[in-house]
Chain A
């Protein structure tokens, strides 16, 4: 199985961090992974995106041009990438920041108010992880031990105190009903 994930939002939303977490999750599960950030002018404001591939086979091109999973963290990202999602793919929409509906009818859509949910748990900067939690539940699945281990890899020792709140954000996303 190969999951090609495109995470897109604006700079500062933790798009790259969420991607790193998913990549580490794949690594811990002994799968083939690649993580490719946008490093262009978009990193200095505007849209930022990140391609993550999790696969049971060696990864060819690390560039995700036709995602099977799109995580749209803001409206420009949904506008830009909605058309690229593979038929039968999944689109995750931060419905706090994006008021419009997905127009495609050949994909599964999940509206999740991740920015709002993040605020409610006292972690307004972790909308990325709330959405990631939802993505994990809907597409990938993960054991609790792996979840902890992957978090341990992406949250640096210097910020170890933030591990719990990241875990809480992930679990909030995982528990969010359809």
Chain B
């Protein structure tokens, strides 16, 4: 037997976060991510960590803001309506250049919506759900293994670039169990000279702040921050390319939609259609260059999403609308079957 264990995606995130050195978790229960908080509530007290169920999502994200200022690895998790509540705090964390991890195990919306899986918070995650100019590094796991692996990566990237990172998952990946090999390595510790850890009477005070009343100064912080974002876009794009080399139809999908799409791509190949799949693992930064390159060889693109069509805008922008881009989608907690995606691929093949 391998050293793999069966775990729910939500639990894999929690365990991976602990192994990445996270000792501070603040949250508030909501389906379908509650197992994450439950896992933390059991484990954190045993390892000298903090688990705190806050009075609200807003309180939880502001506790995250506080711990992030001390340079400690810290996280919160929620599902769509709860993540909406956190947006003000996320903007403050971004505006204060602090690393933190926010997990969104998405469910259908808008409003209270439902509790079934969805990807309709894409705009919120990628385009900035809070106010002001900022980005999150947004990672999209498609398996329980990736729930674990990308959690560690999210902490590392957040530290490296001093910005919040988000794990954008969905109800399916949160609830499903798959074998997972948990990371064994010790987390890399990063120097954080900016952290508020006490001066020891040896240095000047560090100040964590997002308020700049002088517009020149605020403009400067924005430009500096976007220079860092440019580095992230240059260095941190991650994606999986599956059978795209000779593909006429390139399917673009992330998370659970990519799992379904992979089955459909294989079925299309069997039916004699050259289909391929680009699975963005980071949706910010988005694999723009890779899609642009494929627009020279592919005849059409198909965005498969659990939303009314959000990522499709980034697909169109990436390829400058040089090829037709169609949408294959379900919403409200529904998931397309491989047959539905296959039908969309075959239809597109006829049209282009």
A associates with B: yes
Find chain A residues with CB under 8 A from B338 CB: 60-61, 65
Find chain A residues with CB under 8 A from B32 CB: 39
Stretch from A26-34, A70-78, A117-125, A135-143 that touches the partner: A26-34
Question: In whole Å, how far is B182's beta carbon from the nearest beta carbon of chain A?
Answer: 14
Q: Give CA–CA (A128, B178) in the complex, Å.
A: 21
A10 contacts partner chain B, Cβ-Cβ < 8 Å? no
A35 contacts partner chain B, Cβ-Cβ < 8 Å? yes
Q: Name B116's closest neighbour in chain A (CB-CB).
A: A40
Question: In whole Å, how far is A47's beta carbon from the nearest beta carbon of chain B?
Answer: 15
A37 contacts partner chain B, Cβ-Cβ < 8 Å? yes
Q: Is the CB of B259 within 8 A of A33?
A: no
Find chain A residues with CB under 8 A from B262 CB: 60-61
Q: Give CA–CA (A40, B32) in the complex, Å.
A: 9
Question: Considering only CB atoms and an 8 Å cut-off, how many residues of chain B contact the other chain?
Answer: 25
Q: Give CA–CA (A28, B4) in the complex, Å.
A: 9
Question: In whole Å, how far is A23's beta carbon from the nearest beta carbon of chain B?
Answer: 6
Label chain B's interface by main secondary structure. Answer: mixed
Find chain A residues with CB under 8 A from B266 CB: 60
Q: Name B4's closest neighbour in chain A (CB-CB).
A: A27
Question: In whole Å, how far is B322's beta carbon from the nearest beta carbon of chain A?
Answer: 30
Q: Which chain B residues in 317-343 approach chain A with CB under 8 Å?
A: 335, 337-339
A63 contacts partner chain B, Cβ-Cβ < 8 Å? yes
Q: Is the CB of B115 within 8 A of A40?
A: yes
Q: Name B340's closest neighbour in chain A (CB-CB).
A: A65
A87 contacts partner chain B, Cβ-Cβ < 8 Å? no
Q: Give CA–CA (A79, B67) in the complex, Å.
A: 53
Q: Which chain A residues in 28-57 approach chain B with CB under 8 Å?
A: 28, 30, 32-37, 39-41
Known: A61-B338, A62-B259. Is A34-B178 also a contact (CB below 8 A)? yes
B77 contacts partner chain A, Cβ-Cβ < 8 Å? no
Find chain A residues with CB under 8 A from B260 CB: 60-61, 63
A90 contacts partner chain B, Cβ-Cβ < 8 Å? no
Q: Is the CB of A62 within 8 A of B172?
A: yes
Q: Is the CB of B115 within 8 A of A34?
A: no
Q: Which residues of A contact B (CB under 8 A)?
A: 20, 23-24, 27-28, 30, 32-37, 39-41, 59-63, 65, 149, 153
> Which 6 residue pairs of A and B lie closest in terms of their CB atoms, listed nearest first?
A60-B263, A35-B177, A36-B176, A61-B260, A61-B259, A60-B262
5 further interface pairs, Cβ-Cβ under 8 Å (given A36-B175, A65-B337):
A33-B6, A34-B178, A36-B177, A61-B338, A63-B260
